[in-house]
Amino acid sequence: MPETLFDKLWRAHEICQLSDQQSLIYVDRIVLHERTGSIALASLAARGRAVRQRRHAFCTMDHIIDTTPGRNDNTRMPGGRDFIIATRTAAQEMDITLFDINDPDQGIVHVISPELGIAQPGATLVCPDSHTCSLGGLGALAWGVGSTEATHALATSTLRVRRPGNHRIEFVGDLPAAATAKDMILFVIRELSAAGGAGQALEFAGAAVRQLSVEGRLTLCNMATELAAFTAVIAPDQTVFDYLKGRPYAPTTAYWQAAETHWRTFFSDPTARFDHETTLSISHLKPQLSWGTSPQHSMDWDATIPDPEQAGDAVTRDAWRQAQRYMHLQPRSRLSDYRIDAAFIGSCTNSRLSDLRMAGDYLRRSGFRVAPGVKALCVPGSGRVKRAAEAEGLDEVFRSAGFEWREPGCSLCFYAGGEHFDEGARVVSTTNRNFEGRQGLQVRTHLASPLSVVASACAGYLTAAGPH
């Protein structure tokens, strides 16, 4: 029987079917971070259990650590130091791999998992973080779990999982030069809504997807959770295999050919049936900017802000009104009418080397500097990204243009780590969420690609860059 990519991934890891529409799924890899991972490890210790597959469990410091130079265990989050110390102690006692604050491979969990080869095609991976779906960009079946589920997975290498539906999203046409993977996923969420993938495993397909770099695919899958999806996957291909070869935790030379042969079996059969199918044309896709308090509140960068009176129903009208009140926006105005206070390049969505190169190339070509009054920051996603960027001189490009250059971590992606923007600031950000208060008290966040963030930072108002 023809199968989808997701069907094959599920079947390869299904131990047995359970009576309540759930299955027992084998978990190949578990990755933790100090904010929720410390809770899972403490719970495991309290039960007197050990990690079943210690060499398949990893932990990093990323969520609540400080990203300013010279950092240590102290953090701006109340009680954060305790989380960090508890995580370190538990990881050492459980004998799992820890990428500590000063480890050269430390970084954001969804950045280091692919770049170290921890995440691989055809594998299952869980992490107590909602954006674990990023790793579907490699062809992995990866999803976010709670701390309790993480504890169970650590102890048993299994989880009870309700099988999601299958939904293929196919992009038709070539991606325009001015648009990026970030613009593609913001467009998807805009078109389908924040509930458009609820209870589904998404498969992104089409020529434009195959033409993306691995890092672009990771960005595309990263925001599947903003569609309320269970996860997202992209069929692995030569681009993925070339990316993984030689990574620290990838198969060694002796096992590489066998691994690649296995990975090549993970694709959707031509006649496979999906529960849902969506086709989106992107031939004329423009850079996207969010205007409201949900990623679905996105639009072409040069469009006018929607008028609530033109909404199709009362619920949408009220939501638009509330979002515009919070964001201090006027209907039918343009985003370029609004000056910004800050710009942020970072997060598990857009902090990889290609993202930094994209932004840095714009600064080099244009010669522009950050506009007066704008606070601009660039936070690499990992130690490896930071070192590679510095080897290319990107750190100096950013510094010379007026950006702060930080240490790896989640940083200003969200307020919970203690880092935040000034109250009421308007921020353009490469992050994945623009909820109320996400980046600080009354902070108004506009989501964008690295290109649009750096263009806005230099202009001093919301805008987009030209073709790159």
What is the domain extent for residue 252? Answer: 23-162+237-260
**Would residue 466 count as lying in a domain?**
no
Residue at 255 is within a domain: yes
pLDDT at res. 236? 98
Instruction: Flag whether pLDDT at 338 surpasses 60.
Output: yes
Does 10 map to a domain? Answer: no
pLDDT per residue over 360-406, tens digit each? 999 999 999 999 999 999 999 999 999 999 999 999 999 999 999 99
* Whether 330 and 374 share a structural domain: yes
pLDDT at 77: 87
Split at pLDDT 50, 70, 90, the class of 21 is: confident
Would 464 be classed as within a structural domain?
A: no
User: Hey, what are 430's tokens?
Assistant: 């490469």
**What's the pLDDT at 36?**
87
pLDDT at position 187 over 80: yes
pLDDT band at 269 (very low <50, low <70, confident <90, very high): very high
In a domain, 358, yes or no: yes
Q: How confident is the model at residue 415 (pLDDT cuts 50, 70, 90)?
A: confident
**Same domain (yes/no): 298, 367:** yes
CATH of the domain at 139: 3.30.499.10
Is the pLDDT at 25 greater than 60? The verdict is yes
Domain annotation covers residue 270: no
Q: Is the pLDDT of residue 466 over 70?
A: no
Query: In this predicted structure, what is the pLDDT of residue 468?
Result: 44
Q: Are residues 132 and 67 in the same domain?
A: yes
Residue 416 has pLDDT above 70, yes or no: no
Q: Report the number of distinct structural domains present in the chain.
A: 2
The reported pTM is: 0.97
At 282, the pLDDT band (50, 70, 90 cuts) reads very high
List pLDDT tens digits, range 67-103.
999 999 999 888 899 999 999 999 999 999 999 999 9
Are residue 256 and residue 370 in the same domain, yes or no?
A: no
Query: For the chain, how long is the longest CA-to-CA vector?
Result: 64
Among candidate residues 326, 323, 340, 305, the one with its CA nearest the CA of residue 462: 340
Residue 2 lies in a domain: no
Express each pLDDT in 200-229 by its tens digit.
Answer: 999 999 999 999 999 999 999 999 999 999
pLDDT value, residue 20: 77
334 burial (CB, 10 Å; 0-12 / 13-18 / 19+) is: middle
Spatial CA neighbour of 167 closest among 267, 273, 277: 277
